[in-house]
Amino acid sequence: MASNPAAPVNPGKVIAVHVAYESRAAQRGRKPAQPSYFLKTNSSVSGSEGTVERPAGTELLAFEGEIALVIGEPARNVPLAEAWDHVAAVTASNDLGIYDYRAPDKGSNLRSKGRDGYTPIGPELIDARTVDPAGLRVRTWVNGELVQEDTTGEAQLIFPLAQFVADLSQHMTLNTGDVILTGTPAGSSVMVPGDVVEVEVDAPTAPGAPSSGRLRTTVVEGPGDFDPALGTTPQVDDAQREDAWGSREAAGLGPTPAQDAADDAADLPQALRNKLMAAPTAGLSAQLRKRGLNQVVIENVYPGAPGTKMVGTAKTLRFLPGREDLFKSHGGGYNAQKRAFDAVRPGEVLVIEARNEPGSGTLGDILALRAKANGAAGVVTDGGVRDSAAVLEIGLPVFSQTSNPAVLGRKHVPWESDVAVACGNATVIPGDVIVGDDDGVVVIPRALAEEVADEALAKEHEDSWVFDRVAEGNPVDGLFPPTGEWKQKFQEWLAENPAPNHGADSPADLAGNLPTNSAEGVGDGTERN
């Protein structure tokens, strides 16, 4: 049996919060509108320097470093403004859980988190009257490596700590000594026998920087002789593995079918990418128009540097019009904008819907640097760009309406990503092909990209011959586009001068095959200026 040293408190009940940190919500991909809770047994409480058992035959014992609130004066129906007065102390806790029982528990967490020793608390209590509840910090180490760190500021917590006291007191009396576990930040993962996990809570900016000290727990192998005649035995699947480890990658799992499809969309074949790099947007737009697609130009966006060419598949980000209450709930912390820039993949273009509103920046140098590091093909926004000189220096292709020094919250609320968006009066869905050059940006349905590129390049090759004939002094009548005698001459020239191999498999193969007058733009012979 695992040892169970005494904790500095002996609670009548332990109440745990499901999700409280912005970072954890972002990791899980869902953010609660209101707090929710579950109960842990008081027999799960233990102290520091103890051991915790992972039952034999199970695999997913996970740590969750948390801040524990210890109730002082009993609380019943207390308002939010008075709730912190009912907290006597704060300390470190580890909301241990075995995910092998999470699905059978169906949300109660009774068996997954209620086992003996699964709520270490301590080692020391910090007087709650000496600290600001918005100035606490929680850190977790596994085998000496820091794996979790977060604070309790407004931007980091979804709900202030005092709200848990006030909310719970509407439904039950919180008695002296009761403990509230206030949720874990991102970074929770799986432990194995032999691992040592340590959790510390401190108030680094408070006088004396009070600390709980490190709450230390060692994982050991325990008996796993569950009797199936008495109840459910442990069960695991890939969904539980992903949640326990924190990601599919950390769990050693391959991508889901949906992720495979997204990867396929993002991964344009190199030959097609080369064709699109060589094809001017004017020519691509003309070919799309031939196919009945007229609303495919992202209007009024321009490259930060002349001569920029951009090709990639769309990842989308949507902003709502600025509203103070929504920005307070969605604009701080690890918001949708930051998550999108963190998640953009190699070869993707992040397309931002800013409602043609240039009155504030929609990205700056730090986010541009992050996208560049991730291998993004570029960014398109129908809003403004902050730090425009620094963004230009980073070298990421960025197309925007203008530069603007104002911060995002002046006009926008970062809302959601990976949805259909309207950017510059064009609809863009994730996976669309995005091509940009000095003329602007066009959106190409993925299924049409190959044929549109081929025909645009063929027309560009023809126009290069026409350009040379006009340069010789010939009038455009009958030449642009070639008809009659001129058409016959072009066909003879084409037989001896086939179009370059823009579909070469490597950029090096492509280097010598760019059109001689690609900067001139390409049309269908009736719309070219």
pLDDT tens for each residue of the chain, 529 residues long: 445 789 999 999 999 999 999 989 888 777 888 999 999 999 999 999 999 999 999 999 999 999 999 999 999 999 999 999 999 999 999 999 999 998 888 788 999 999 999 999 999 999 999 999 999 999 999 999 999 999 999 989 999 999 999 999 999 999 999 999 999 999 999 999 999 999 999 999 999 999 999 999 999 999 988 999 999 899 888 889 988 998 888 888 877 655 555 555 557 899 999 999 999 999 999 999 999 999 999 999 999 999 999 999 999 999 999 999 899 888 887 889 999 999 999 999 999 999 999 999 999 999 999 999 999 999 999 999 999 999 999 999 999 999 999 999 999 999 999 999 999 999 999 999 999 999 999 999 999 999 999 999 999 999 999 999 999 999 999 999 999 999 999 999 999 999 887 665 544 444 333 333 333 333 333 333 3
**From its phi and psi, is residue 271 left (phi > 0), alpha (psi between -120 and 50) or beta?**
alpha
Domain map (residue ranges) of the chain = 14-223+234-251, 270-449, 451-496
Write down the pLDDT at residue 88: 98
**What is the C-alpha separation between 454 and 226, in angstroms, rounded?**
65
- pLDDT tens for 189-230 read 999 999 999 999 999 999 999 999 999 999 999 998 899 999
Angle between helices 449-471 and 270-278 in degrees, nearest 10 = 30
**What is the C-alpha separation between 520 and 407, in angstroms, rounded?**
37
Tokens of 6: 């005494």
DSSP for 395-450? T--EEESEE--S-GGGTEEEEEESS-EEETTEEE-TT-EEEEETTEEEEE-GGGHH
Write down the pLDDT at residue 288: 97
Q: Which amino acid is at 368?
A: A
**What is the C-alpha separation between 3 and 11, in angstroms, rounded?**
19
DSSP for 236-292? --HHHHHHHHSSTTTTTPPPPHHHHHHHHHH---HHHHHHHHHS-HHHHHHHHHHTT
What are 250-258's contacts with CB under 8 Å, separation 24+? 250/189
Residues 119-142: b if buried by 16+ CB within 10 A, e if exposed: bbbbbbbbebeebebeebbbbbbb
Write down the pLDDT at residue 264: 55
364 is in an annotated binding site: yes
Whether the CB-CB separation of 444 and 288 falls below 8 Å is answered with yes
**What is the C-alpha separation between 277 and 46, in angstroms, rounded?**
63
**Number of residues written out for the chain:** 529
Q: Which amino acid is at 278?
A: A
Cα–Cα separations (whole angstroms), residue 6 to 62, 184, 304, 316: 22, 23, 63, 52
Whole-prediction pTM: 0.57
Cα–Cα separations (whole angstroms), residue 338 to 326, 331, 368, 370: 16, 10, 11, 9
Whether the CB-CB separation of 411 and 433 falls below 8 Å is answered with no
168 is in an annotated binding site: no
**What is the C-alpha separation between 284 and 303, in angstroms, rounded?**
18
**What is the C-alpha separation between 262 and 343, in angstroms, rounded?**
12
**What is the C-alpha separation between 312 and 350, in angstroms, rounded?**
9
| Assigned CATH topology for domain 14-223+234-251 | Fumarylacetoacetate hydrolase; domain 2 (3.90.850)
**What is the C-alpha separation between 466 and 449, in angstroms, rounded?**
25
Write down the pLDDT at residue 517: 34
| Assigned CATH topology for domain 270-449 | Glucose Oxidase; domain 1 (3.50.30)
**From its phi and psi, is residue 197 left (phi > 0), alpha (psi between -120 and 50) or beta?**
beta
Q: Which helix (H) or strand (E) holds 216?
A: strand 215-222
367 is in an annotated binding site: yes
387 is in an annotated binding site: yes
**Sheet strands side by side (includes 37-40):** 37-40, 14-17, 179-181, 65-71, 87-94, 119-127, 45-46
Write down the pLDDT at residue 520: 31
Output DSSP code: residue 470. H
Of the chain, the end-to-end C-alpha distance in Å amounts to 84
Torsion, Cα 368 373 376 377, to 10 degrees, reads 80
Whether the CB-CB separation of 275 and 309 falls below 8 Å is answered with no
- 3-state SS of 49-106? CEEEEEECCCCCEECCEEEEEEECCCECCCCHHHHHHHEEEEEEEECCEEHHHHHHHC
337 contacts: CB under 8 Å, gap ≥ 6: 317, 319, 362, 363, 367, 408, 414
